[in-house]
């Protein structure tokens, strides 16, 4: 009797790019949704030397790694240059972006179509975070933390601690933090 052929499928890998300065509960919700759909999700931090943030690039990577450590099929990486080139280099066929509100749509739509023009084999997939996270953004979270507000409901615990530490240190040395 002949053994039944084993059907193998290529791994479905998705790329979730962003600035993640810092990662919020909204981002984490999108990561978890993507991790349930794909075999592997690569959360990738965009390196842009013209855009300095509150957290340094290595700090963002480290905080993301801590945030996703309990998800076995999620890993963190970094990239520089064109996103579609990076997607191809890691054999990711899908780019994930979170859509919170109509206000996100125009920018996201433009970026998705441009990426498709650059590489027609890479699809962009939009995922909506839980409604309760739709008003959260890294920018607002940083502003609230800078002004001493409570940010625990908006970010993972390790990020809340890192934000508090960052702003208490900045207060001590008297440096204003960038807000974007």
> Out of 13, 14, 15, 17, which residue is the one contacting ligand PNS (CB under 6 A)?
17
The correct pick among 114, 135, 153, 178 for binding ligand PNS (CB under 6 A) is 114
| Nearest distance in Å: CB 120, ligand PNS | 14
Q: Of 34-42, 66-74, 111-119, 154-162, which part binds ligand PNS (CB under 6 A)?
A: 111-119
Cα 176 to Cα 108, 150, 166: the distances in Å are 30, 19, 11
CB of 9 to ligand PNS, least distance (A): 28
Using the rule CB under 6 A, is 115 a contact of ligand PNS? yes
Catalytic center residues:
27, 51, 100, 138
What is the spatial distance between Cα 66 and Cα 29, in angstroms, rounded to a whole number? 15
Residue 10 CB coordination number (10 Å) = 8
H or E element at residue 123: strand 123-127
53 binds ligand PNS (CB under 6 A): no
**How does DSSP classify residue 98?**
E
């Amino acid at each position: 009797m002949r053994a039944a052929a084993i059907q193998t499928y290529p791994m479905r890998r998705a790329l979730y790019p962003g600035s993640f300065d810092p990662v919020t509960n909204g981002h984490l919700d999108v990561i978890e949704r993507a991790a349930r759909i794909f075999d592997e999700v690569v959360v990738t931090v965009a390196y842009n030397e013209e855009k300095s943030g509150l957290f340094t690039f290595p700090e963002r990577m480290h905080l993301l790694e801590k945030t996703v450590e309990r998800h076995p099929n999620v890993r963190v990486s970094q990239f520089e240059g064109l996103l579609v080139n990076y997607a191809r280099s890691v054999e990711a066929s899908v780019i994930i972006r979170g859509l919170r509100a109509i206000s996100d749509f125009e920018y996201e739509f433009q970026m998705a179509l441009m990426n498709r023009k650059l590489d027609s084999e890479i699809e962009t997939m939009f995922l909506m975070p839980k409604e309760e996270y739709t008003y959260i953004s890294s920018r607002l979270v940083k502003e609230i933390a800078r002004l001493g507000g409570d940010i625990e409901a908006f970010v993972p615990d390790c990020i809340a601690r890192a934000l508090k530490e960052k702003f208490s240190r900045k207060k001590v040395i008297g440096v204003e933090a960038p807000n974007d």
